Structure 1
Amino acid sequence: MAARLAERDAMRRHRIRTRVLAWTGGLLVVAGLAWVAFFSSVLGLDLEDVTLAGEGTVVDPAQVEAVVAESAGVPLPRLDTVALRERVLDLNGVRDVEIRRVWPSGLAVLLESREPVVAVPVDDGFALLDAEGVHVRTDPAVPEGLPEIDAPLDEQGARALDAALVLLNTLPPDLHAQVAEVSAPTRDAVRMTLRDGVVVEWGSSEEAALKVRVLQTLRAVPENAGVTVYDVSAPTMPVTR
């Protein structure tokens, strides 16, 4: 009986030791994996594995690369992509950005740039604005294909500028490409001049979609081939001359 009890105690101690060793080994493995993932250079950000896309004509890729370079070597599991995204958003011309981890050591930076849609005269050239009216850069001359808006950039002219942007944002691409200039002395007196010299009296930004349809319909009528002015400021009662 004593021998059997001793054998049972020995087996119990053996099982306990086995369990302790197993748990210890498991903890060491987990700790090792955690160290590799969060503290070693195995998963560290390699700048050669960073890809940029969507910078367009405004965003400077070198500035984006410089921001990303600040995190070089940081293990991807520890990399704060939210904070990195905020720093990239602060760069000129960046409207939005998505940052994806590309295992084991890369990043994909997908940019959405603020592409200029209009040029506004300023003292040192022309301020280029995107579709939301954000100033993205200043050029000495109007870039080819970009319409010019004659509207003040101060607070008093903000509503007039918004009305002009509503006009341009509402136009279909084929008609938008024909716009040479938009004048907006007030928000209710917007006028655009097409590249063929035709003037469109637009008025306010109200009923913009209807005004576009009316304008397209009038321009498609063969009898209006010689018309130089389309007044769609009251779209239910348009006037041509």
Structure 2
Amino acid sequence: MRPPSTPARRGQPPAPGAEREERPTRDRTPAQGTPEDRPRPATGPVSMVDRLAERDAERKAMARIRFWRRAAWATGGAAIAVALGWLAFFSPLLALDPGQVAISGEGTTVDVGEVRDEILPERGVPLPRLDTVALRERVLGLNGVKDVRIMRAWPQGLTVELTSREPVVAVPDGEAYALLDEDAVRVGTAASAKDVPVVGVPLSDDAGSRAALFAALDVMAALPPGLAGKVASVTADTQDDVRTRLDDGTAVVWGSGDRLELKARVVTTLRRAEPDARIIDVSSPDLPVTR
């Protein structure tokens, strides 16, 4: 038998032939090392494709932002436009109030009540929708209206400026007198001619009578106010033989309707120079004659 082995003393070599005790050994794999020593993935320079992709993504993002911004502005603008349209064309805030209609220039021949009656049907219509052209045509159809200007007076009114047809002469018409304006338009009828001169011309559609009437009206229109107010009557046998009689009895022979401004100045001068003259003939204004 093999004698039991005795443990070797510390520091002494094992006995010859003694078997060495096998000890487990640890795995001797290399240490992981510090983070600085660890291998890093290779990065390398960013490729051109990646850069283009990033820029394309940025452009698309900005395009989306601009799109939604424009959409927001467009929606807001449309809402404001709708609100303003309703306010202007349908809201009672701008509706016509007949009590705020101002009428002027009616003169002596236009009935203001008739003008208001033409405007009254437009009550409640917003001023932007009011057809002032059609309204003007209706007012022009009234007796005595020569012209009219209609303007909106915001927020709910109108300003109506009339030009009336004022009578300048009276023409005998049976037992009454037809009152005519400077365009030979009949603006009324009167029992007597108190404030306008009487024109001794037949009131007919005859061409000769109409020509004589217009010649007489031309003379009256050319007279200065100081002289026109003194005319008592006008006669015109023809268009080339117009005569007027002043309130002091002086007769003025005008002849035709030519050079009327010069003729009127000559008459005014001769009346001052020869106050006793009973007849002043300016049918030829370069060679006037007084008697």
State the TM bucket, normalised to the shorter chain.
0.7 to 0.9
Q: Tell whether 2:263 aligns with 1:211.
A: yes
Question: Would the aligned equivalents of 2:215 and 2:257 in 1 still touch at CA under 8 Å?
Answer: yes
Q: Is the 8 A contact 2:91 2:126 kept in 1?
A: yes
Q: Secondary structure at the match of 1:70?
A: helix
Partners of 2:111 and 2:281 lie apart in 1 by: 42
1:105-164, CA deviations, whole angstroms, 9 ceiling, x for partnerless residues? 1110111111111111112411111122211111111133x1111112222211101111
> Bigger shift: 80-89 or 208-217?
208-217
Match of 1:136 in 2: 187
Q: How does 1:223-238 map to 2 (within 5 A)?
A: 224-238=274-288
1:13: how far off? 7.5
Query: Normalized against structure 2, the TM-score is what?
Result: 0.73
Matched with 1:187 is 239
Correspondence 1:112-191 to 2 at 5 A: 112-144=163-195, 146-156=196-206, 157-191=209-243
Q: 1:19 & 1:190 partners in 2: Cα distance?
A: 78
Give the match for residue 72 of structure 1: 123
Taking a change above 3 Å as real, the CA distance of residues 24 and 133 of structure 1, as seen in their structure-2 partners, is same
Alignment-mate amino acid for residue 289 of structure 2: V
Q: How many pairs align?
A: 234
Does structure 1 retain, via aligned residues, the 8 Å contact 2:172–2:203?
Answer: no
In 1, Cα distance between equivalents of 2:66 and 2:147: 59
Letter paired with 1:240: T
Distance verdict in 2 for CA 1:124–1:66, change over 3 Å: farther
1:35 and 2:86 correspond = yes
2: CA distance, partners of 1:11 / 1:231: 93
> C-alpha displacement at 1:17, in angstroms?
6.1
Letter in 2 for 1:116: P
Q: Which runs of 5+ in 1 are unaligned?
A: 1-7
SS of the residue 1:42 aligns to: helix
Q: Which runs of 5+ in 2 are unaligned?
A: 1-57
| Partner amino acid, structure 1, of 2:271 | R
TM-score by length of 1: 0.88
Q: Relative contact order, CA 8 A, sep 6+: which one is greater?
A: 1
**Partner amino acid for 1:29?**
I
1:10 positional shift: 10
Change (3 A) 1:214 1:29: closer
Q: Percent identity?
A: 49
- Distance (Å, rounded) in 2 between the aligned partners of 1:239 and 1:16: 91
Structure 1 position 104 matched with structure 2 position 149: no
Give the corresponding residue for 2:112.
Answer: 61
The structural deviation recorded for 1:230 is: 1.5
Greater C-alpha radius of gyration? 2
Question: Does the C-alpha gap of structure 1 residues 167 and 16 become closer, same or farther in structure 2, counting only changes over 3 Å?
Answer: closer
